[in-house]
Structure 1
Amino acid sequence: MTALLATPETAPAPRRRSARSRARNRTLVWCAIAAVVLVALTGIALGTGQVKMSVWDALRALAGLGDPGDVLVVRQFRAPRVVSALIAGAGLAVAGSMLQRLFRNPLASPDTIGVTGGASFGATLMLATGASQAMIPLAALGGGLLAALLLGGFAWRSRMAVTRLVLVGLAVQQGLAAAVNLMIVRFPAELATSAMQWTTGSLYGRNWPEVWAAGGAIALTAAGAFLMNRRVSVLDLGDDSAGGLGLNPNRDRLWLLLLTIALASLAAALTGPVAFVALAVPHLVRLLAGPPTVATLALTALVGSVLLLSSDLLVLHVLPVHGLPVGAVTATLGAPWLLWLMIRQGRLPQRNDS
């Protein structure tokens, strides 16, 4: 009788709660799958190479158990590279997701608004001075903030809408890339090779001091992004609604933007400007899990780590080209996938054969 007397206004509420519950459960299932895949890939990455060992032996060596030779190979040479891929992949993916929500533009990412170009500029400039490797994360962060200032300055002078800032960001990105190329041309041969490898995105030669310096900062910044996810959700409602709920939209958007730029710049400092991860992973997660929540942001981080680590495994053990940077692989895999995604979403005109 209660169901028969339910009004149209009250009847959909249980269905809405049920839909949210199903979406949350689906996201948790995907998180569990991504976590299992990530553990498996980590074991494969630690155990594969010139010194071969099983996944179990590799994980035991990571804990300091087993054969001393295996422990040395895993903990000193392979683990820093794997951990760098995990941390940087998660950081880039989370940064891309946050930027797409803040800009309300599905093409917004650190690659398209100039942040990775700025990070490359700062890091390359630091390499040119012969400074310590530990200073590169700070230089990359400064370069990313420089790109943000250039973007904000152009947008403020022209009163440009937020949704069109991506076009200005592409111009900033290309200008900074040209400056990086000019510095590389002027470098001595030994520095030019190192800088060229870094600016294409590479995990080669990572060591624990770099991982602790950049990785620790990435972890703290990503934690801040998760803590502020609720504010992003309120900003998604629009400036008027966000103001009515007690937020200052302009101030909060500025702080969130600075946090996201810092996250992307630090990730680029660890691996170089790896393409495609920040742009495409948020799209893939939306296809799998639906609208953004804290759980989908966690899934975004996991998928970013899976993508970067699996791409590095392709570089090391599958592709015949020795020394290929991981950024070249992610860009090659990402371009056709992104084109398919744009066609699927109707962003490109469809041909009518009738």
Structure 2
Amino acid sequence: MTSAAVRTPRGTQVQRRGHRTALLSGCAVALLLVLALISLTRSEIPLSVSTALRALVGQGDAGEVFVVQEFLAPRLAAAVIAGAGLGVAGSLLQRLFRNPLASPDVMGITGGASFGAVALLAVGASQTLIPLGALGGGLLAALLLGVLAWRSGLGVTRLVLVGLAVQAGLAAAVNFMVVSFPAELAGSALQWTTGSLYGRTWPEVWGAAGAMLLALAFAFGLHRKLAVLDLGDESAGGLGLNTSTARLQLLVTAITLASLAAALSGPVGFVALAVPHIVRFVAGPPTPGTLALTGLAGAVLLLASDLVVQHLLPVEGLPVGAVTATVGAPWLLVLMMRQGKPVNRSTA
């Protein structure tokens, strides 16, 4: 049998996976567009699709234009951007640490981002600076994690447990600051306790969106290094990759994505944890295409959860983090029970 004959089935399998990923990505985009139209048309003043789209570009009744452009559209954009960032960040961390439990919310990064954002609110900083505060808080959480775990040489599972402790401690600090705020600031800071997309404004969205696009581009640019790291440090080093530098680049990128997402949504849990596993289950081994699909799936999940909060639950004002936590908590329990079994494959 010739070498070409041996390679043909494998090449065909790769092509099929690529086609499946492209099909799934197309479905995710279509679903995201449908959810976006629902988000723009379902409010206290129901709008038709054509009316909502005209209002989105500034045409039609002034009241409808104001509602769509200043309330509905920023919340929609924040959900899409934050969901995509959380999905990709979770995928990077799970592959980097080779552990299905590794995610920004489990490891304390989103808690740190919330702490940084609320700290800026406490000193009266502008809302446009919130992404910077969130990024600083996420890096602080990573530093705490490094001091408490990495220097002690703990395993990855222990690292995740330390991350949960860091997350809980920072959440307590956020709660303390919120209850200490004057009444006029407490409302705007309350979203940082559980995660919420309510009240997003265009200055916040544009600031986080620009930085998020750069971080996403950097993440995709690092995918080849991540694929080499999947082979193991020894093999990666043999191929000429500086594993320490590559890991640091990937870690900072994941922290940046998660922190910027938290700047828009607060500490929304379990999106970054569950989405990479779902994508791997339906799309197969990790590729640049599945990483893009992970971002799309994160956007779909967070936007869908926000629509459930707004329109399907009888309780008004419920934060979107309550819905994602309700869905994600059983998922976390399943993953922790599976930790006793060997895991030899990377997540998407």
Q: TM-score, with normalisation over the residues of structure 1?
A: 0.91
Larger Rg: 1
> Match of 1:282, as an amino acid?
P
1:30 to 20, 24, 27: 24
2:237 aligned partner: 243
Task: State yes or no: 1:264 paired with 2:258.
Answer: yes
Which runs of structure 2 are paired with 1:1-354 in the superposition (5 Å)? Answer: 6=1, 11-162=5-156, 164-339=158-333, 346-347=338-339
Three-state SS of the structure 1 residue aligned to 2:106 is coil
Is the Cα–Cα contact under 8 Å of residues 101 and 332 in structure 2 kept in the other structure?
Answer: no
1:352 aligned partner: none
In the alignment of these two chains, the number of paired residues is: 341
1:248 is displaced (CA, Å) by 0.3
Is the Cα–Cα contact under 8 Å of residues 174 and 192 in structure 2 kept in the other structure?
Answer: no
Is the Cα–Cα contact under 8 Å of residues 87 and 294 in structure 2 kept in the other structure?
Answer: yes
User: Within 1, Cα distance between the matches of 2:314 and 2:156?
Assistant: 43
1:239 is displaced (CA, Å) by 1.1
User: Within 2, Cα distance between the matches of 1:257 and 1:300?
Assistant: 17
Unpaired stretches in structure 1, ≥5 consecutive residues:
1-5, 350-354
Q: TM-score, with normalisation over the residues of structure 2?
A: 0.92
> Match of 1:51, as an amino acid?
I
User: Within 2, Cα distance between the matches of 1:178 and 1:79?
Assistant: 32
Is the Cα–Cα contact under 8 Å of residues 110 and 264 in structure 1 kept in the other structure?
Answer: yes
Is the Cα–Cα contact under 8 Å of residues 103 and 163 in structure 1 kept in the other structure?
Answer: no
Structure 1 residues 335, 25: closer, same or farther in 2, change over 3 A?
A: same
1:3 aligned partner: none
Three-state SS of the structure 1 residue aligned to 2:286 is coil
Cα deviation digits, residues 46-88 of structure 1 (max 9, x gap): 0111221122332232233444443332122210110000000
Is the Cα–Cα contact under 8 Å of residues 101 and 336 in structure 2 kept in the other structure?
Answer: no
1:168 is displaced (CA, Å) by 1.9
User: Within 2, Cα distance between the matches of 1:179 and 1:197?
Assistant: 14
Give % identity.
Answer: 65
Cα deviation digits, residues 131-190 of structure 1 (max 9, x gap): 211221111111110111111122343122445421221221122122222223333333
Structure 1 residues 67, 196: closer, same or farther in 2, change over 3 A?
A: closer
Unpaired stretches in structure 2, ≥5 consecutive residues:
342-348
Cα deviation digits, residues 226-261 of structure 1 (max 9, x gap): 111111111111112211222100111011101110
